[in-house]
Structure 1
Amino acid sequence: MFEHLKEKPADKIIALGQAFREDPRETKIDLGVGVYKNPEGVTPVMRAVKAAEKRLWEEETTKSYTALAGDPAFTGAMADLVLGDAVPRENVATLATPGGTGAVRQAFDLVRMANPGARVFVSDPTWPNHLSILAYLGVEVVNYRYFDSATCAVDFDGMMADLEGVRAGDVVLLHGCCHNPTGANLTMPEWRAVVERLNAAGALPMIDIAYQGFGDGLEADAAAVRYVAANCPEVLIAASCSKNFGIYRERTGILMAVMQEAGLRTLTQANLAYLNRQTYSFPPDHGARLVSMVLTDDTLRADWQAELEDVRQGMLKLREQLAAELQRLSGSDRFGFIAQHRGMFSRLGATPEQVERLRADHGIYMIGDSRINIAGLNDKTVPILAKALIDAGV
């Protein structure tokens, strides 16, 4: 049987990380894989998470299963974090998942169950795994313009023109904040226009929010999600705890289905639990337990928010430093967008040939579309990157 299997394309981001590890140059810089790193190049365990872990070790009395949809303390705390008071909780069905990726996958499966003919509109560009999962599931994908490579800003006119093609029952996938891979975000007036367009068409918005707290702050980063949830008949929201809690390997995420008709919650919740049962039965709990402990303990939460804000401010400082150094070297403000983007990523507008030159000549590793992980930089490497970009003709 196994001889009938076909080769699958390698994940480009994972392959890039492997190439970086095999590069013997001591001066190499990894700007590829999307994990936060401190100035020492370490992805640290956050203080509040470490404290919660110690407490859990002392207090936990069982490793028995949680509920199929996850521990209610976790799903409730995360619904509060993402949604605030935008919608009543009786209008929200929740599902604990293995990471944000698990939430995205379960959301697409729920869409297939509810409407097998649904098309999913996806920003061009988007996180590659969105497209990979949709292709694997056999769901029709329609791209909508999002990023203007000339200005390195959102191509909102192009986006709205492409969303004219949305039909009732379609799904439009949106990034809640810190767009991956571009770092360019919609403004609130633009979000309102998108909601008006989708509601008029009868389409369902699906929001992937993986970086809450990394852009403009916890509350500001959730503002668009909350607006959509409060103003659309139905919304799917996939959220990740990997980045803002720093628990990548614990695989902690949540899928929320929001509906204005509260009577649909019981049916939707049962279908979400069914999806978990068919895929992996009970979701992992360790990371979810840590998150719920941090979010529901005033002292731990305050420390977590303080450290998360330090992380956010550090990335903003790196953005400003890189933009300023590029302006100094180039005598141009054409890189000012770097300081305006938010989150871990920016797309620089370099060609694949320039990206390869940066790797070959300078040991600087970034995704082929010139997405860089800002958190892969520090005070010492910012000027190195800036000079290499100018030397490569970017």
Structure 2
Amino acid sequence: MFETLKQLPQDPILQLMQTFRDDTRPDKVDLGIGVYKDDAGKTPIMASVHEAERRLLEGETTKSYVGPAGSAGFNESMARLILGNSNSLIRDGRTSVIQTPGGCGALRMAAEFFRLCQPDTTVWVSTPTWANHMPLLGGAGLNIREYPYLNRETLTVDFPAMLETLEGAKAGDVVLLHGCCHNPSGADLTFEQWQTVTQLIQRKGLLPFVDMAYQGLGEGLEEDAAGLRYLAGQVPEMVVAASCSKNFGLYRERTGALMLISATGAINTAATSQLLSVVRSHYSMPPAHGAAIVETILGDDALRAGWQSELRGMCERILGLRHAFADALAPLGDFGFIARQRGMFSFLGITPEQVRQLREEHGIYMLESSRVNVAGLNDRVLPTVASAIRSVM
């Protein structure tokens, strides 16, 4: 059976990771892999996570299954983190959350759920979008269509083109939106643009699907969720995929959540039962450890305050690096868009050949599209990176 299979090319991001690891130059710089890094170039374990984990290890009494929905405490905490503590949607029973194996698990279970609801579901995805959106959604058999999002000349949101294209969407179609810190561009919708998109979704009867992978790393926990919360308050149905990989630093723990918002509590109960049936037929039960860490942090006032302080520090560091990077590149032209964007990623707008020059001649690694992870910079390497970019331009 296996002899008929052909070897696939390696994923470009994973290949870049391996090439970087094999590079023996001591001054190499990784701006490609999408993880947060501190000033020392490390992806740290947050102090609040360390403390929560210590408590769990001391008090844990079982390794039994948590059930297909995962931990009820984690699910409730995530609902309040995403929508806000006093959101009426939670109080009225119109929401449900299930724990998933990372944000990827949430995205794939949402795709399987859409296919269950309507086998020929069409999902509209931004151009560009996170590379794994396509296989996660398309792999479930959904129809994928794209709407323009980024103006490649200005590296800002091409909002008129986005609206014009989405006018072609049909009632029942799903529209995937990035909640904040758009990956890979860093170009986010303004609150006013969220309001306009909401009006289009309402008018055309579309289903909004929000990927919230970076809450707290754009401008702040509340600020980053403002557009999502407005949209949720205006539509009868909505789906949200959330990840704890970035804002809790739980990358390898694979901790995520999938939220359904329904028109009524009764509809939500029925929909959730169907979603849990989908989960049972795929991975059956989610892993428990990462979710238990998040639940412990969000359920303890002191730990939560410490976590929020750490997250705020990460957010402010990224914002500072954005301004410093834009200033360092200013002699080459207008790179102010880097300072105006949010989250970890931006496109530099340079050519694939220039990207290869940076890698081969200077040991500076980024994706061929020129997407850089701004969080991979620090005060030590930023001047070197800026100088190298100037040399290839």
Indicate whether the TM-score tops 0.5: yes
Q: Does 1:309 align with 2:312?
A: yes
Q: In structure 1, how many angstroms separate the alpha carbons of the residues matched to 2:171 and 2:318?
A: 40
The residue number in structure 1 matching 2:255 is 252
| Residue of structure 2 in register with 1:38 after alignment | 38
Listed one character per residue, the Cα deviations across residues 130-162 of structure 1 (whole Å, up to 9, x for unaligned) are: 012233223211110000111111000110111
Give the aligned partner of residue 134 of structure 2.
Answer: 131
TM-score by length of 1: 0.97
After superposition, residues 65-144 of structure 1 pair within 5 angstroms as 65-84=65-84, 85-89=86-90, 90-144=93-147
How far residue 9 of structure 1 moved from its aligned partner, in angstroms, is 3.7
Q: Does 1:379 align with 2:375?
A: no
CA distance, structure 2, for counterparts of residue 113 and residue 373 of structure 1: 36
Deviations 1:165-223 (A, max 9, x none): 11011111000000000000000111111111111111101000100000000000011
The offset of 1:61, in angstroms, is 0.9
Higher mean C-alpha displacement, 380-389 vs 165-174: 380-389
**Residues 1:168 and 2:177 aligned together:** no
Structure 1: which amino acid aligns with 2:48? A
Q: Choose 1-10 or 31-40, whichever is displaced more.
A: 1-10
The CA deviation at 1:40 is 0.8
Contact 1:166 1:198 in 2 (8 A): no
Consecutive unaligned residues in structure 1, runs of 5 or more: none
CA contact (8 A) 1:87 1:229 kept: no
3-state SS of 1:157 partner: helix
- Are 2:256 and 1:240 aligned? no
Does the residue aligned with 1:35 lie in a helix, a strand or coil?
coil
Is the 8 Å Cα contact of residues 86 and 227 (structure 1) preserved in structure 2?
no
TM-score, L = length of structure 2: 0.97
Asked if 1:13 is matched to 2:16, the reply is: no
| 4+ aligned runs moved over 4 Å, structure 1 | none
1:216 — aligned with what? 219
Query: For residues 56 and 28 of structure 2, what CA distance do their matches in structure 1 show?
Result: 39
Instruction: Determine if contact 2:108/2:140 at 8 Å carries over to the other structure.
Output: no
Moved more, 123-132 or 80-89: 80-89
Q: Distance in 2 between matches of 1:135 and 1:56?
A: 38
Cα distance in structure 2, aligned partners of 1:56 and 1:258: 31
On the 8 A contact 2:115/2:141 being kept in 1, the answer is no
Shift of the alpha carbon at 1:276?
Answer: 1.6
Judged with a 3 Å threshold, the aligned counterparts in structure 2 of structure 1 residues 143 and 32 are, in CA distance, closer, same or farther, namely same
Indicate the SS of the match to 2:121: coil
Q: Percent of counterpart pairs with the same letter?
A: 50
- Offset of 1:386 from its aligned partner? 1.1
Does structure 1 residue 4 correspond to structure 2 residue 4? yes
RMSD across aligned positions (CA): 1.1
Conserved? CA contact 1:86–1:229, under 8 Å: no
C-alpha change, 1:360 and 1:164, in structure 2 (3 Å) is: same
Is 1:297 the counterpart of 2:300 in the alignment?
Answer: yes
Please tell me the residue identity of whatever aligns with 1:353: E
Partner letter of residue 20 of structure 1? Answer: F
**Pairing 1:147–2:150 present:** yes
- Distance apart, 1:25 and its partner CA: 1.2
Contact 2:216 2:311 in 1 (8 A): yes
- Which sections of structure 2, spanning at least 5 residues, go unmatched? none
Question: In structure 2, how many angstroms separate the alpha carbons of the residues matched to 1:86 and 1:340?
Answer: 30
Offset from partner CA, 1:75-121 (integer Å, 9 cap, x none): 00000000113442211121110100110110111111101111110
C-alpha separation in 2, matches of 1:117 and 1:135: 11
2:361 aligned counterpart, secondary structure = helix
Q: What secondary structure, in the 3-state scheme, does the structure 1 residue paired with 2:325 have?
A: helix
d(CA) in 1 for partners of 2:87 and 2:383? 43
Q: Distance in 1 between matches of 2:77 and 2:141?
A: 34
Equivalent residue number for residue 25 of structure 1: 25
Note if 1:270 corresponds to 2:273. Answer: yes
Contact 2:171 2:206 in 1 (8 A): yes
- Output aligned runs, 1:296-375, within 5 Å: 296-327=299-330, 329-330=331-332, 332=333, 334-375=334-375
